[in-house]
Amino acid sequence: MEAVSVYQYTEAFKVTDEVRRDFEQHGYIVLKGLLDKEEVAIVEMAIGGSDAITKHKFGDVVDGGRKTDTVLWKHPGNDVTGMVVRSEKVAGISEQLLGGEVYHYHTKLMLKEGGRGAKHVWHQDYSYWYWNGCLFPEMLTVFIPLDDCRKDNSCLQVLRGSHKCGRIFHKTAGEQNACDAERIEELKAVCPHDFMEIDAGDAIFFHCNLIHCSSQNNSDRRRWAFLTAYNRASNNPTKVHHHPQYTPLHKVPNVAIKECKNFTDVSGKAFVDPTVDTTYKSFFKDGNSAR
């Protein structure tokens, strides 16, 4: 099925009661055109114009010889990508959806190249974040593709409304956490399977317990995506780990994205290195891994 709760972003957009009901009912909302073409272009320039960010990539998901390159960082920084995650239209809308102050939990790039991008199994983000000491599922992710996302180049897939299940049992599957397969089949009978075919610059704001996945990228086109996770300030993790505990987020007006001329100074972002950040791949007694 196609995505529901789809809205067109304008500077006048507000999280109304209707928008909040959609998020609570479906586990996500889609904002078309959250980043305009110029903003997408400058974010891509900040990522691909030098190796300041991409030199920190690592092969996070390996799937039968396929690989999805990932870059992961802890703090927004003051470059163009930092302005995006600190902007009112990204951070501010996240605060409205979660009902209170948020802070930057992490940002990651998922670089699925054509013909070799790996699949991501059905999972909940909170299946990872639970083990990091986040006591409540008061968290969300903003997924912003830098390329048009279609079924053949690995668009996001979700089970609509599945966040209402709470955190369900996961098993380790290689480098990933996978939802119990039997439970997934049962949920598919009651939760519509939505293929989130969206364009570059559109955004999906989705709840941390929403079950989602993506396929291998078997097309000849890449699928680069920019994902930022936010945590409620009141949900400060009880454990020190590879993502930050509460750190005040200094928001900026939306115009800061285009006005920022910093494309290469990424100081302060604190990139995650799995060989150093040992909690990134810590394993626990029931087989779940922190992420």
What domains appear along the chain, each with residue ranges and CATH number? 6-281 (2.60.120.620)
- Quote the CA–CA distance of 54 and 63 in Å, as a whole number: 21
Q: Is the pLDDT of residue 287 over 80?
A: no
**For residue 55, with 0-12 CB atoms within 10 Å meaning exposed, 13-18 middle and 19 or more buried, which class applies?**
exposed
Read off the pLDDT band of 281 (50, 70, 90).
low
Residue type at 151 in one-letter notation = K
Model pLDDT for residues 11-30, shown as the tens digit of each residue: 999 999 999 999 999 999 99
Please identify which residue in the block is written with the tokens 């302060």. 268
Scanning 67-214, the segments in alpha helix (DSSP H) are 80-86, 93-98, 126-129, 181-188
pLDDT of residue 290: 44
Question: pTM of the entire structure?
Answer: 0.95
HEC letters along 242-287: CCCCCCCCCCECCCHHHHCCCCCCCCCCCECCCCCCHHHHCECCCC
Digit-coded pLDDT (tens) for 87-99: 999 999 999 999 9
Q: Does the pLDDT value for residue 62 go beyond 60?
A: yes
Q: Which helix (H) or strand (E) holds 42?
A: helix 37-48
Q: For the ranges 137-146, 169-178, 223-232, 249-258, which has the lowest average pLDDT?
A: 169-178
Tell me phi and psi for residue 103, to 5 degrees: -130, 165
CB 59 within 8 A of CB 68: yes
Residue 283 has pLDDT above 60, yes or no: no
* pLDDT band, very low/low/confident/very high, at 117 (cuts 50, 70, 90): confident
Mean pLDDT, the chain, as a whole number?
93
